[in-house]
Amino acid sequence: MHGEYKVPGGKLVVVDLDAQDGVLRNVRVAGDFFLEPDEAILAIDRALEGAPADTDAAGLAARIDAALPPGTQMFGLTSEGVGIAVRRALAHATDWTDYDWRLIHEPPRSPALHMALDEVLTDEVAAGRRPPTLRVWEWGAPAVVIGSFQSLRNEVDPEAAERHGIRVVRRISGGGAMFIEPGNTITYSLSVPDALVQGLSFADSYAYLDDWVLGALGDMGVRAWYQPLNDIATDAGKIAGAAQKRVVAGAGAVLHHVTMAYDIDADKMTEVLRIGREKLSDKGTKSAKKRVDPLRRQTGLPREAVIERMIASFRNRYGLTEGRLTEEELTRAEGLVESKFGTEEWTARVP
């Protein structure tokens, strides 16, 4: 069995092993990380040899930590990362490069249609009718997008939203509210087979699916990192939030979407969103305006250039072929707007 895992912000860990009579055998760990002293790699292999095959990543990491020589130094490598690579090997997880990725980057769509397209495309990936897809959104109107389980009245000031011409829509994934203005926002979705995240915990899958964009930001001079559970942050503040939805039909699929602040009208945002003190209490700041630090200031690049560089970074890593929505997908999405995402019943399902 073969498993790979790129440690977020670090290096690739590769594990080859057998599972015999419920335990790990013939374990070999490799990768492009740095490790001192040399014999530490053999200690890692020995620590994993004979471990019960149902040991979780944290348990495997504990075995490794207990076996490492005194003074061991790891660079681009963590014991937890090795444990995750083992779990991915046992789960027969796939890798990014196993797929023929498609890009969808089309003209602006309404907020409700974007919500519907996420559901339709992820369902299509789960059914095996569409290859894994990166979809870069263009917004046709300003919006507030609330999470699947958020209370509408707790999150949005309806009078302020109406005054500013902002539509409220609800997505199928959890997480918090996003304030959207077309020229100030960069949003993308990944619709991926469940096999890509096999062996990862729910939390680890966020970091794994966000890693490529951290590399793209780094190439633009932005030192960014994944901040659990679902934020992308820099020294200056948060720049993006992610959310996920799992689809269990067919072979299974994961929707992972990210909204990034290219620029922001912070005064308007705080008028429209009811951002409470409790929500800010764990963010280390007293002001909602200070929570987000836009990419425009950090990169000095036009929004279109940021998007182009992100797409190029993904293509260079994993390959990416230009694609488009099919007529069937668009028709299904438009139907979902009428029956679900454009309705008051759905938007206010948690009043």
Task: Annotate 176-222 with DSSP letters as a single string.
Answer: --EEE-GGGEEEEEEEEEGGGGTT--HHHHHHHHHHHHHHHHHHTT-
**The token pair that represents 8 in the structure block:** 């977020």
Q: What is the mean pLDDT of residues 312-332?
A: 97
- Tally the C-alpha atoms within 13 A of residue 223's C-alpha that lie toward its C-beta: 2
Give backbone dihedrals phi and psi of 12, rounded to 5 degrees, phi first. Answer: -85, 135
CA atoms 206, 93, 213, 6: torsion sign: positive
Report the C-alpha gap between 185 and 73 in whole angstroms.
Answer: 40
Q: Which pLDDT belongs to residue 14? A: 97
* Percent of the chain residues topping a pLDDT of 90: 90
Q: Which pLDDT belongs to residue 278? A: 42
Full-model pTM: 0.91
Q: Is 193 exposed, middle or buried (0-12, 13-18, 19+ CB in 10 A)?
A: buried
CB 33 within 8 A of CB 10: yes
Q: Enter the DSSP assignment of 316.
A: H
- pLDDT tens column, 155-168: 999 999 999 999 99
Report the C-alpha gap between 113 and 128 in whole angstroms.
Answer: 22
Position 39 pLDDT exceeds 70: yes
- pLDDT tens column, 111-158: 999 999 999 999 999 999 999 999 999 999 999 999 999 999 999 999
Among 218-222, 236-240, 285-289, 312-316, the least confident range = 285-289
Q: What is the mean pLDDT of residues 294-322?
A: 97
- pLDDT tens column, 70-109: 999 999 999 999 999 999 999 999 999 999 999 999 999 9
Q: What is the mean pLDDT of residues 240-255?
A: 94
CB 51 within 8 A of CB 73: no
Position 223 pLDDT exceeds 80: yes
Q: What is the mean pLDDT of residues 24-28?
A: 98
What does the radius of gyration of the chain's CA atoms come to, in whole angstroms? 22
Q: Which pLDDT belongs to residue 155? A: 96
Q: Which pLDDT belongs to residue 276? A: 54
What DSSP string runs through 57-115? Answer: HHHHHHHHHHHSPTT-EEES--HHHHHHHHHHHHTT---GGGS--EEEE-S-B-HHHHH
CB 291 within 8 A of CB 220: no
Q: What's the CA dihedral at 42, 3, 175, 326 to 10 degrees? A: 160
Q: Which pLDDT belongs to residue 277? A: 41
Which helix (H) or strand (E) segment is 124 a member of? helix 111-127
Report the C-alpha gap between 270 and 176 in whole angstroms.
Answer: 14
Q: Which pLDDT belongs to residue 117? A: 98
Q: Residues near 71 by Cβ (< 8 Å), separated by ≥ 6?
A: 37
CB 86 within 8 A of CB 310: no
Q: Residues near 108 by Cβ (< 8 Å), separated by ≥ 6?
A: 138, 139, 140, 182
- pLDDT tens column, 278-302: 454 444 444 555 568 899 999 999 9
Q: What is the mean pLDDT of residues 254-261?
A: 97
CA neighbor of 229 nearest in space, from 282, 308, 158: 282
* Percent of the chain residues topping a pLDDT of 70: 95
Q: Which pLDDT belongs to residue 293? A: 83
Report the C-alpha gap between 130 and 93 in whole angstroms.
Answer: 19
Q: What is the mean pLDDT of residues 257-279?
A: 86
Task: Classify strands 34-36 and 73-75 as parallel, antiparallel or unpaired.
Answer: antiparallel
